[in-house]
Structure 1
Amino acid sequence: MLPAEAKAECCGYSLEGATCECRGKQVMKTTGIVSGRLSVHQGDTLMRSARLELRYFSREDIPSIFNNYTGDLESSRYLAREPHSDIAQTERMLDRLSRQESLACFGICTWVVYSHDHEEAVGLVTAVRHGETTVLHFGIGTSYRGRGYAAEALSLAARNMLAGQQRGNVVSYVDVENIAAQKTLERAGFALKGRSEKYYKAPQLNGEHRNVFHYQFEPDALPNLNFRGTQLSDIESLFFVRERTRENAIPRERLASLGITPQSIASSLASGQLVSYVCECESTVVGFCSGDLESGEVLVLAVLSEYEGLGIGKELICRVVEALQAAGHRELWLGASPDASSRAHGFYRAQGWRADGTYDGNGDELLVLRSGS
């Protein structure tokens, strides 16, 4: 169980009146977040993925954090604080809790979640250290929800916390009625461990005492994945994923210039020319693979970066390969980067694909897969 002051911060208090116990003392250069980092300034990036970075705040972040999160009524619904009344309140909180020394001084540190897609801060992740346990809490502005940002940011933070400590665990607490946050924790690799009654008070919910679920980060725990055939209602999700892969991401405008549009995909699906499968996690499409039943080409395989390493790509391409072979193709082909350092280079070869020594007009290496390979 967390002490009262840590519990308060978990649920949204800013500890503005707290005093740094390490003032005048040597602040540890290694905080358990990024081991060995000697100098971290405001705005420096601590953790990074393809779409996001987690870092200490910069002054430019304050308006977007206030507008998107701390001052937003809906975002404060399940917190133990009122929405910030003005931007100065958000600035005071970040100035105290989003610095290199915050964790060492207060046992609490807040990181800004910055989106490269939108080029602004979209939320916060807060770590509360209590003994060998670190509690992570998070918030993403309402206009940026449903994009996987929260799960991606939580997973980044949890993995970095574990990497920076010899022992201990990373946990989180969530209101029993906050279903969206529960699904986010599960997608980020947290497993449900228990429940506490009347754990905190929520001012936005009539000030009543609220019950919470306990979650613990288990990096090897797999999320609930579902593989199925692509439907017309998935088409927008396909373009969303294709623009956000770690390597070889292709913007919608570029795809359109190649004749790949929602209309062309819908037509190919409807005609039966296209065989396609998606992987979804909690009803969100996180990867897909498509092939041309007439030519035997695997057209695309794409998986969101935060879902890499879970076997999604392998399962998707296996399903497409089976469908193309069932259609009578003895030899399948695809184009991939010839760069040996790319993820695709090793991935396809591990699945039995081999280069045939030719290249397409885009400079991609042509790989083939023969029946029985």
Structure 2
Amino acid sequence: MFLLKRDVSLNHTGTQNIETKRFLLRKFNKSDVKDIYNNWTSDIEAAKYNAWKVHDSENVTREYLAEWIKLYEKSNYYHWAITNKLTGEVIGSISASNISHRKKYCEVGYTVARKYWNQGIATEVLKELINYLTNVVGFLNIRAFHDIRNKASGRVMEKSGMVYIKRKKQFFLNSNNLIMDCCVYDYIKNINN
């Protein structure tokens, strides 16, 4: 009698279009630079709880954008522009990184322009991303972190089906180069269904 060995590989698709009710998640392109700069990379409030520093010019954003676009050549690079389906405006980003093939694990992070906060956007796109990463790519464990002061991000994670795991002390650098405490959330796919 032979036991079938379960496929343990991930089905890397790269950054493919994903639609939610209100948004299209798609690859960034060069023409997005103004939206990215105006909507979040130049905004100190948007950067407050993140590791990236505020960009002092569109040229800085353009350099980052060129790197993101180049990385799309890799099939295991996952970084989406959150685009309003009605207006075409890029209002944020969402990504998966720190991938472990053996553990089928990744980490997700997101940023939404401040003028669009408290409209359910991050929850809507994170739910759909978790669905994509687990059911299409094959991740079993998706983790997210937030600065302990950013309680709104924790609510987004919970509403998206993630579960609070623990608090980590002095875990990551924020945009002001301060080491911050954070909360850790996990989504673990139920493989029995």
Cα displacement string for residues 234-280 of structure 1 (whole angstroms, at most 9, x for unaligned residues): xxxxxxxxxxxxxxxxxxxxxxxxxxxxxxxxxxxxxxxxxxxxxxx
| Structure 2 Cα separation of the partners of residues 156 and 67 of structure 1 | 25
1:103, distance to aligned residue in structure 2 (A): 5.4
| Structure 1 Cα separation of the partners of residues 185 and 34 of structure 2 | 31
| Structure 1 Cα separation of the partners of residues 161 and 65 of structure 2 | 27
Corresponding residue for residue 7 of structure 2:
none
1:186, distance to aligned residue in structure 2 (A): 1.2
Paired residues in the alignment total 176
**1:185-264 map, 5 Å:** 185-204=157-176, 207-218=177-188
TM-score, length-scaled by structure 2? 0.81
Counterpart amino acid of residue 59 in structure 1:
K
Secondary structure at 1:164's aligned position in 2? Answer: helix
Q: 1:129 aligns with which of 92, 98, 111?
A: 98
1:191, distance to aligned residue in structure 2 (A): 1.1
Corresponding residue for residue 148 of structure 1:
120
Contact 2:174–2:180, Cα closer than 8 Å, also in 1: yes
Corresponding residue for residue 87 of structure 1:
58
1:158, distance to aligned residue in structure 2 (A): 1.4
Cα displacement string for residues 6-33 of structure 1 (whole angstroms, at most 9, x for unaligned residues): xxxxxxxxxxxxxxxxxxxxxxxx6245
Q: Residues 71 and 184 from structure 1, CA distance in 2 versus in 1: closer, same or farther, beyond 3 angstroms?
A: same
TM-score, length-scaled by structure 1? 0.44
**1:320-331 map, 5 Å:** none
Secondary structure at 2:164's aligned position in 1? Answer: strand
Corresponding residue for residue 160 of structure 1:
132
State the identity %: 19
Secondary structure at 2:137's aligned position in 1? Answer: coil
| Structure 1 Cα separation of the partners of residues 24 and 74 of structure 2 | 19
Cα RMSD after superposing both structures = 2.1
If you compute each CA radius of gyration, which structure gives the higher value, 1 or 2? Answer: 1
Q: 2:80 aligns with which of 108, 111, 115?
A: 111
Q: 1:101 aligns with which of 60, 67, 73?
A: 73
| Structure 2 Cα separation of the partners of residues 125 and 153 of structure 1 | 8
Secondary structure at 1:177's aligned position in 2? Answer: coil
Corresponding residue for residue 340 of structure 1:
none
Corresponding residue for residue 306 of structure 1:
none
Q: List runs of 5+ in structure 1 lacking aligned partners.
A: 1-29, 35-44, 221-373
Secondary structure at 2:118's aligned position in 1? Answer: coil
1:49, distance to aligned residue in structure 2 (A): 1.4
| Structure 1 Cα separation of the partners of residues 118 and 19 of structure 2 | 20
Counterpart amino acid of residue 33 in structure 2:
I
Greater relative contact order, per chain length (Cα 8 Å cut-off, separation 6+):
2
| Structure 1 Cα separation of the partners of residues 43 and 51 of structure 2 | 14
